[in-house]
Amino acid sequence: MVAELSALQQIINSLTGLNGLPVVIVECVVTTIYTSLGGFRISFVTDNIQGAMVVGLIILGAITVGLETHVERASVVSSDLLGASLLGWQLVYILPVAIVTNDFFLSGFWMRTFASKTDRDLVIGTSIAAISVACILTLVGATGLLAAWSGAWPGDPPMSGSIAFFLLLEQLPAWVVGIILVMTVSLSTAAFDSLQSAMVSTGSNDIFRNKLNFWWIRLAVILVIFPVVIVALKSPSVLQVYLISDLLSASSIPVLAIGLNDKFFWWTGFEVVIGGLGGLMTVFIFGTIYYGSALDGANLMLLEQSLYVDDWSAFGAFVAAPVGGLLWALSALGFRVLIQWYLAKSRGHPLDVFNRQPPTAHPITPIHHSEHFEENHETVGTSPPDLLK
């Protein structure tokens, strides 16, 4: 949510020169109203609109950029952007680790996964999406190069590279910028309502187990939006916001994924929690040793220098997070086994840590049909943790 709103206000500011706060507030109000009335189903409708907007944005952008943007061959050669670089090779590792692990935390992805009618539909849908996204990212990513070669980026004053695409579009005729601005707001709104719906579903089912009135959950989500807006307006970089969450997921998801395998039934939440926190601690230790300063080690946990540094700090952080998390989790497992072995020995019982225990029956919480489906049209009880259990 923070990254979405932060990107929107930066785009509004770069394309129009206006303050992006009013647009952010209007988006939050509008999405809150129609998701409260339409529930998660309305998110599917806006996703279709989002897809159409993306296609329109790509087509319009490709045509107008091709006609209006002028690139000198000398600027291409002098920029050296097409040559190999240390960061380029580092990103071959960083981006897959960051994106794959972070996607585990996106409830919107899981909810759409379990909303598929069959596995075949899921495979077809994800295959089409993967091809489409690859084409879109290739086109959008190439605009960063065009922005640098044409002089649109970094601009005066220098702007963040994360909005280079929109800095390039800023050079186009005013009518094109206006259409793109409308499409951008529509895209942001469609993404933001999915995040809101996912938070409501997760809070209702996973946290309160459908025992709390649904509207109280919605009120809690609305209250969360206020600090989200404040943080979004204060955040210096959209990329940094994503990188912080990527580092968190890189430290916790590998140890969590082990527990999803039935062969590792003895892997518990204790190892997952210790491993996740230990992964972040390992990043701090690595940064302190690498820089020779505890303060710089702490800043590395926040990736204050982002990815665009000519050293091994960011790469080392994304290696330390998953590797350190696994090592801490294994240490936690060894500690737990040692404690249970001591308790079993003192009580004269056999050690049963690695013996499969019979499943424990849990009472089923009734769901009031009228409250959750008729009034709000929400799909409750389909969040990923509940189904994975």
DSSP 8-state class, residue 161: G
Q: pLDDT per residue over 90-107, tens digit each?
A: 999 999 999 999 888 877
User: Does pLDDT of 378 surpass 50?
Assistant: no
Report how far residue 151's alpha carbon sits from residue 167's, in angstroms, rounded to the nearest whole number. 10
Nearest to 68 by CA among 180, 184, 182, 156: 180
Residue 132 is encoded by which pair of tokens?
């489409």
Please compute Rg for the chain using Cα positions. Answer: 24
pLDDT per residue over 3-29, tens digit each? 788 888 888 887 787 888 888 888 888
73 pLDDT above the threshold of 90:
no
pLDDT digits (tens, 9 = 90+) for 143-160: 888 888 888 887 777 776
pLDDT at 359: 65
Residue 362 is predicted with a pLDDT of 54
pLDDT digits (tens, 9 = 90+) for 316-345: 999 999 999 999 999 999 999 999 999 998
- Between 60 and 266, where is the model more confident? 266
Our CA angle for 384, 235, 323, nearest 5°, is: 50
Confidence category of residue 310, pLDDT binned at 50, 70, 90: confident
CA distance 8 to 181: 10
- For residues 315 and 94, is the Cβ–Cβ distance under 8 A? yes
For residue 366, what pLDDT is reported? Answer: 52
* Candidate from 56-70, 155-169, 291-305 with smallest mean pLDDT: 155-169
Q: Which residue carries 């409750």 as its tokens?
A: 380
Contact predicate 104/253, CB 8 Å: yes
For 170-179, the CB contacts below 8 A with 24+ separation are 170/14, 170/15, 171/68, 171/69, 172/64, 172/65, 172/68, 173/64, 173/68, 176/60, 176/64, 177/15, 179/60
pLDDT mean over 278-303:
93
Q: Write 362-368 long-range contacts (CB < 8 A, 24+).
A: 365/209, 365/210, 365/211, 367/210
The model scores a pTM over 0.75: no
Residue 381 has pLDDT above 60, yes or no: no
pLDDT exceeding 70 applies to what percent of the chain?
Answer: 90
What are 204-242's pLDDT values in tens digits?
Answer: 877 888 888 878 888 888 888 888 888 887 766 677 778
Confidence of residue 171 (pLDDT cuts 50, 70, 90): confident
Q: How far apart are CA 2 and CA 229, in angstroms?
A: 7
Q: What is the pLDDT of residue 313?
A: 92
Helical ranges in 151-173 per DSSP H: 164-169
Average pLDDT of the residues in 375-385: 42
303 Cα distance to chain centroid: 16
Exposure on the CB side of residue 230, measured as CA atoms within 13 A = 5
Position with higher pLDDT, 115 vs 280: 280
Non-local CB neighbours of 242 within 8 Å, separated by 6+ positions? 3, 98, 102
Per-residue pLDDT band at 363 (split at 50, 70, 90): low
Find the distance separating the first CA and the last CA of the chain, reported in whole Å: 27
pLDDT value at position 372? 41
How many whole angstroms separate alpha carbon 237 and alpha carbon 189?
Answer: 20
Contact yes or no for 190/49 (Cβ under 8 A): yes
**The 3-state secondary structure of 192-236, one letter per residue:** HHHHHHHHHHHHHHHHCCCCCCHHHHHHHHHHHHHHHHHHHHHCC
Which pLDDT does position 273 carry in this prediction?
95
Burial class (CB in 10 A: 0-12, 13-18, 19+), 285: middle
* Residue 373 predicted with pLDDT over 50: no
The CA distance from 214 to 43, in Å, is 18
pLDDT for residue 282 is more than 90: yes
Percent of the chain residues topping a pLDDT of 90:
25
- Distance between CA atoms of 110 and 115, rounded to whole angstroms? 8
